[in-house]
Amino acid sequence: MSITKTEAIVLKSMKFGDTSKIATLYTRDYGKIKVVAKGIRRPKSRLAGSLQTLSHIQIVFYKKKTTEIYLLSSSDTIRSYRSLYKDLNRYVFASASLELLDRLITGEEANPQVFELTQKILTFMESCRESSLEKFFCYYVLKLAHLLGYKPKFDRCINCNKPVKEKFVLFSPEKGGIICKGCARADQAYLRLSKGSVGSALKLQSVKTEDLNTYNIPMERLKEITNGILSLLDYHTGRGKSLKTFEFLKADFQRGPQGRMRKI
């Protein structure tokens, strides 16, 4: 058993016994872990209030190889993101981001870039214009897919590597990118993206998080891009269909004829 210190983002927590909690955390140095906070629900507990979902915290815990749930020793809040709780839309988009992360990450594998991305997105969602929430969520989904090894290809046909010149472009969740009509198969399902959505997706793949506020994307493009990436993650991981906030947002992004899966 070793005493370990790291930063973490609280993905979720649940009551355990009469006075304790079990929390799922995404840490900077150890990936996703679970900790038990004994006595945290007692009024005078020194841990009280430190495991609120969405919070950015610093923890000390006892790491033991023979158990999957570690004992939390101390926890200090770095940032609570309280403003996210005061606005329903901000809360839903932030919760969906963490729920998706929780669903996609299955073990203790450190990825500091994912941690930094998530921390930055929560910060921006707390302070950005409400009309920009969809843009930040779309950016998060796109970047998360990239960092987890599912980067979609938008610049050329993923099959023949030639430019796709059609006004509306076919996107294959299975292949992980756009595909030209010459390579498309009648027995496969595709999403249809506008040429503008493909261009916006390419821009989002290269833009820095801090520059997002200066880049405007029409809502219909955001819906198309996000639906495509969520469908890609659904296809390759099989870990998205039961998410409550994920399904709520996915249903919203799928409204209208442009966002539905179709046979060609």
Residues 6 or more apart whose CB falls under 8 angstroms from that of 210 comprise none
Q: Which two tokens stand for residue 183?
A: 């390579």
Scan for tokens 């059609």, then name that residue: 166
Residue 258 pLDDT grade (very low, low, confident, very high; cuts 50, 70, 90): very low
Contact 118, 136 (CB under 8 A): no
Q: Which of 22, 48, 80 is the last residue of a domain?
A: 80
In this model, does residue 27 exceed pLDDT 60? yes
Residues 195 and 211 in one domain: yes
Residues 64 and 149 in one domain: no
Residues 215 and 112 in one domain: yes
Question: Cα separation of 57 and 160, whole Å?
Answer: 47
The mean per-residue pLDDT over the stretch 214-230 comes to: 91
Q: Supply the pLDDT for residue 256.
A: 45
Q: Which of 59, 80, 101 is the last residue of a domain?
A: 80
Q: Supply the pLDDT for residue 222.
A: 93
The whole domain housing 197 covers 86-263
Residue 236 pLDDT grade (very low, low, confident, very high; cuts 50, 70, 90): confident
Q: Which two tokens stand for residue 227?
A: 């639906």
Residues 184 and 137 in one domain: yes
Question: Cα separation of 200 and 223, whole Å?
Answer: 11
Ranges of H-type helices in the chain = 88-104, 112-127, 133-147, 195-206, 219-237, 244-253
Helix (H, G, I), strand (E, B) or coil at 121: helix
Q: Which of 80, 103, 121 is the last residue of a domain?
A: 80
Lowest-pLDDT choice from 52-66, 68-82, 247-261: 247-261
Question: Cα separation of 52 and 56, whole Å?
Answer: 9
Split into its structural domains, the chain has a count of 2
In this structure, what DSSP letter does residue 87 have?
Answer: S
Residue 253 pLDDT grade (very low, low, confident, very high; cuts 50, 70, 90): low
Q: Which two tokens stand for residue 67?
A: 């158990």
Residues 66 and 147 in one domain: no
In this model, does residue 122 exceed pLDDT 70? yes
When the pLDDT of each residue in the chain is averaged and rounded to a whole number, the result is 88
Nearest residue to 137 (alpha-carbon basis) of 33, 219, 193 = 219
Q: Supply the pLDDT for residue 201.
A: 96
The mean per-residue pLDDT over the stretch 103-118 comes to: 92
Residue 252 pLDDT grade (very low, low, confident, very high; cuts 50, 70, 90): low
Residues 128 and 227 in one domain: yes
Q: Which residues pair with 22 in a beta bridge?
A: 14, 36
Give the tens place of pLDDT for each residue, 144-158: 999 999 999 999 999
Residues 144 and 247 in one domain: yes
Residues 56 and 122 in one domain: no
In this model, does residue 244 exceed pLDDT 50? yes
Give the domain CATH number at 212: 1.20.1440.120
Residues 65 and 145 in one domain: no
**Strand-by-strand arrangement of the 262-263 sheet:** 177-179, 168-172, 189-194, 262-263
Contact 71, 61 (CB under 8 A): yes
Give the domain CATH number at 47: 2.40.50.140
Q: Supply the pLDDT for residue 148.
A: 93
User: Which pTM does this prediction carry?
Assistant: 0.89
Residues 135 and 72 in one domain: no
Residues 29 and 55 in one domain: yes
Residues 175 and 221 in one domain: yes
